[in-house]
Amino acid sequence: MFLPKWLTDYIIKHFEGLRLVSQWFSAGYGWSYRVVGRRLFVIVGVLICLWATLDYFVLGRSRNTEERTFDKVMRLRWNEPTASQEIVIVDIDEKSLSEMADEFGRWPWPREVFGDFIEKVNNLGARAIVFDIVFSDPDKFNLSSDARFNEALANAPNVFLPVIRLNAEADRQSKLKVSQIPGIQKLVEQPKDTTVGLVWPAFLPAALTNGNFGTVNLTPSPDGITRDYCLYTDESGYRLPSMALKVAEDVKDVKLEPKQTSIRINWRGRKSTYSQLSFSSVYSRLRRGDASIAALLENKILIIGTTAPALFDQKTVPIATIYPGVKIVANAIDNLISNDAVRQPPKWLSFILAVSFVALLCTLLTLGMRTKLLDKVFGAFQIIFLGVTLTFINYSCYYVDLSMPFYYGLTAYVIMRSYIMAGQQYLKGKGFFKLHLPKKGPFIVSLAHLLLAYRGEDRDKEFVQMQIAREMVRDVTLKTNVRVLVNERPMDMDGMFAKIFENRMFIMHILPGEVDAGEEDVWGHALVKRIQLQLDNNGCKVEVFLESISTRKGVKDAGQVYSAARGLLGQVLIQERN
């Protein structure tokens, strides 16, 4: 119904089947417009609110929309938190793999490399050494290298090693008791000591003695994007911390909020990045005894991981499609130390705002708010929703998710605004609602000139005109050889014309040519009575008078109907002007 006029006319003119569809569509819409009217806004509002309630409490379909909105906000924000200068990523990148291949072979390197690295950086005063590399099995072909690594761990209580928590099937096959995990926290007095499936460096006695283990499991959302970081895993009365939590508790006495099981990561990396050094460069400078490297490593949290695509530690996060896992660990540690992980108001607040906003839109339309004012109100609310969300996430660690009121309000607005636009086209006989008269006449075209006299303070012209128009569509019918009434309102004129037509309205009346000429006067007076009754029933303080009826006979075909009506309207303009 909102196709360009030339395309609509072409379709209706050349396709007889679509012309019939258009007639039925026009009649069906006319019935709904006449019978339902503004009550449709209430129906739409109730249906949308019921769907929002069902979705919030049962279906959860809007969850995906909320998550995608969070991703967009993260990418759009202009003021992200500054990456901590205490965290340094020592990157096993493609450069390191290439440069160290001649001496140490292809990856994985002998573990004595990491043992030597640990000793040298600890001599320079590193605060913590965090490995984002899992050491799962001993190197059976180079046991001396493992021994060298274990020796370095024995003298380095600030080294943190990762473990991987396996699934429940692995628990049944495992022989490891939960109580046997070093450093695990007891939650109850007599926990149940069950078996647990872990991938961990059990072959390194020094690592077991230090007990600095943390899980590195990542659980992405159903769409595959990692947004949250799990802080710990509870196992039969014991608590196994994540790597980020273990490091943060050691570096800074971090206290979790009650029932806080995870954090939503407040991402760094688009405007503020962590210091990142190539492993091969750092290691070669350490071996040469380059004293300048100390300024880069002293009192730092060193995270040893990889960004090399060949080692397959790549994830999808809100700010990037491909993001190294080592940077996720860095973000999580930074969030915990800085205490600025993303915080969100309760979900029910967004739900209440969504239902309230939809109810407000429906109420305003039902009460007769003018569409131009409604557009401004709706636009203002949408800007407020977007502005509040962006302001909070840019200048605080709070993410106020207003996607539900934004999208549900938009849905309600589009449906109701489309209904109003369709009603305007219908009442004007345009588009798919245009007149469907026989191709050949003759026709009689009459123009009833009505004068509207407002009583008291009731000056809502748009509401009054809509009530008159609704009364007119009662006579619209599929029988194209009888009269058809449409509404012609020249209310968009400026200057003098606007003043002339301020309290006037025009009804175009089309009759077959063989009708008696005297019928027009009868119709005109009956029309005024019907309109007055309609306005009185709707509480409109308006009196309607029949100013004049202008008639043009002998209109040859349907294409000349509106031309005849415009001619009659021009005559009225001239008379009123004089």
CATH number of the domain that residue 523 is part of = 3.30.70.1130
Task: Evaluate whether 460 touches 368 at the Cβ level (below 8 Å).
Answer: yes
Measured in degrees and rounded to the nearest 5, phi and psi for residue 481 equal -100, 10
Q: Calculate mean pLDDT across residues 311-321.
A: 92
- How far is it, in rounded angstroms, from Cα 29 to Cα 32? 5
The whole-number pLDDT of residue 439 equals 57
Q: Calculate mean pLDDT across residues 65-78.
A: 92
Higher pLDDT, 124 or 564: 124
Q: Is 4 exposed, middle or buried (0-12, 13-18, 19+ CB in 10 A)?
A: exposed
Least confident of 257-261, 290-294, 347-351: 257-261
420 with 440, same domain?
no
- How far is it, in rounded angstroms, from Cα 549 to Cα 529? 15
Q: What is the CA radius of gyration of the chain?
A: 38
User: Is 395 a member of any domain?
Assistant: yes
332 with 357, same domain?
no
Question: Which pair of tokens denotes residue 282?
Answer: 């750092």
Higher pLDDT, 552 or 160: 160
Q: Is 510 exposed, middle or buried (0-12, 13-18, 19+ CB in 10 A)?
A: buried
- How far is it, in rounded angstroms, from Cα 394 to Cα 233? 31
How many domains does one find in the chain? 3
Task: Evaluate whether 219 touches 164 at the Cβ level (below 8 Å).
Answer: no
- By C-alpha distance, which of 528, 534, 414, 530 is closest to 466? 534
Evaluate if residue 192 carries a pLDDT over 90.
no
* 495-540: pLDDT as tens digits: 444 455 667 777 777 776 665 656 667 767 777 787 777 777 777 7
Question: Which pair of tokens denotes residue 51?
Answer: 């769907």
User: Is 357 a member of any domain?
Assistant: yes
- The pLDDT confidence band at residue 279, using thresholds 50, 70 and 90, is very high
- How far is it, in rounded angstroms, from Cα 293 to Cα 90? 13
* 395-406: pLDDT as tens digits: 999 999 999 999
Higher pLDDT, 370 or 295: 295
Q: Which residues pair with 301 in a beta bridge?
A: 87, 128
Question: Which pair of tokens denotes residue 80?
Answer: 């992200």
User: Is 41 a member of any domain?
Assistant: yes
The whole-number pLDDT of residue 23 equals 56
334 with 357, same domain?
no
AA identity, residue 485:
L
166 with 276, same domain?
yes
The whole-number pLDDT of residue 235 equals 85
* 161-173: pLDDT as tens digits: 999 999 888 888 8
Give the per-residue SS3 of 362-408. HHHHHCCCCHHHHHHHHHHHHHHHHHHHHHHHHHCCECCCCHHHHHH
Residue 138 structural domain: 92-338
506 with 567, same domain?
yes
User: Is 87 a member of any domain?
Assistant: no
470 with 555, same domain?
yes
- How far is it, in rounded angstroms, from Cα 319 to Cα 77? 10
Helices (H), 429-510: 461-472, 495-500
Evaluate if residue 258 carries a pLDDT over 90.
no
The whole-number pLDDT of residue 22 equals 55
Q: Which residues pair with 542 in a beta bridge?
A: 454
- By C-alpha distance, which of 373, 387, 368, 267 is closest to 316? 267
Task: Evaluate whether 201 touches 136 at the Cβ level (below 8 Å).
Answer: yes
The whole-number pLDDT of residue 37 equals 65
Question: Which pair of tokens denotes residue 264?
Answer: 């939503």
The whole-number pLDDT of residue 127 equals 95
User: Is 453 a member of any domain?
Assistant: yes
The whole-number pLDDT of residue 491 equals 33
Total number of residues shown for the chain:
578
End-to-end CA distance of the chain: 40
Domain boundary at 399, 430, 461, which? Answer: 430
Domain boundary at 404, 430, 456, which? Answer: 430
The whole-number pLDDT of residue 18 equals 52
464 with 328, same domain?
no
158 with 269, same domain?
yes
122 with 241, same domain?
yes
Domain boundary at 338, 373, 408, which? Answer: 338
Return the top range by mean pLDDT from 149-158, 492-501, 565-574.
149-158
AA identity, residue 562:
Y
> Could you give the dihedral angle defined by the CA atoms of residues 350, 355, 357 and 360, in that order, rounded to the nearest 10 degrees?
-160
485 with 379, same domain?
no
The whole-number pLDDT of residue 50 equals 94
Evaluate if residue 462 carries a pLDDT over 80.
no
Percent of the chain with pLDDT over 70: 78
Helix (H), strand (E) at residue 448: strand 440-454
329: left (phi over 0), alpha (psi -120 to 50) or beta: alpha
* 468-492: pLDDT as tens digits: 665 555 444 333 333 333 333 333 3
User: Is 86 a member of any domain?
Assistant: no
Residue whose token pair is 């009364």? 471
- The pLDDT confidence band at residue 114, using thresholds 50, 70 and 90, is very high
- How far is it, in rounded angstroms, from Cα 35 to Cα 43? 13
The whole-number pLDDT of residue 493 equals 36
Question: Which pair of tokens denotes residue 130?
Answer: 């965090």
User: Is 167 a member of any domain?
Assistant: yes
Evaluate if residue 15 carries a pLDDT over 70.
no
- The pLDDT confidence band at residue 152, using thresholds 50, 70 and 90, is very high
- How far is it, in rounded angstroms, from Cα 477 to Cα 486? 11
- The pLDDT confidence band at residue 372, using thresholds 50, 70 and 90, is confident
- How far is it, in rounded angstroms, from Cα 441 to Cα 384? 56
261 with 112, same domain?
yes
303 with 445, same domain?
no
Evaluate if residue 136 carries a pLDDT over 60.
yes
- Taking the complete model, does pTM exceed 0.85, yes or no? no
Q: What one-character DSSP code corresponds to residue 58?
A: I
Q: Calculate mean pLDDT across residues 8-22.
A: 54
Q: Calculate mean pLDDT across residues 434-461.
A: 66
* 81-100: pLDDT as tens digits: 999 999 999 999 999 999 99
Q: Calculate mean pLDDT across residues 200-205.
A: 93
Least confident of 100-114, 253-267, 341-355, 391-405: 253-267
- How far is it, in rounded angstroms, from Cα 315 to Cα 137? 25
Q: How do strand 484-488 and strand 87-91 relate by DSSP bridges?
A: unpaired
User: Is 372 a member of any domain?
Assistant: yes
- How far is it, in rounded angstroms, from Cα 368 to Cα 540? 12
* 34-69: pLDDT as tens digits: 566 677 888 889 999 999 999 999 888 888 889 999
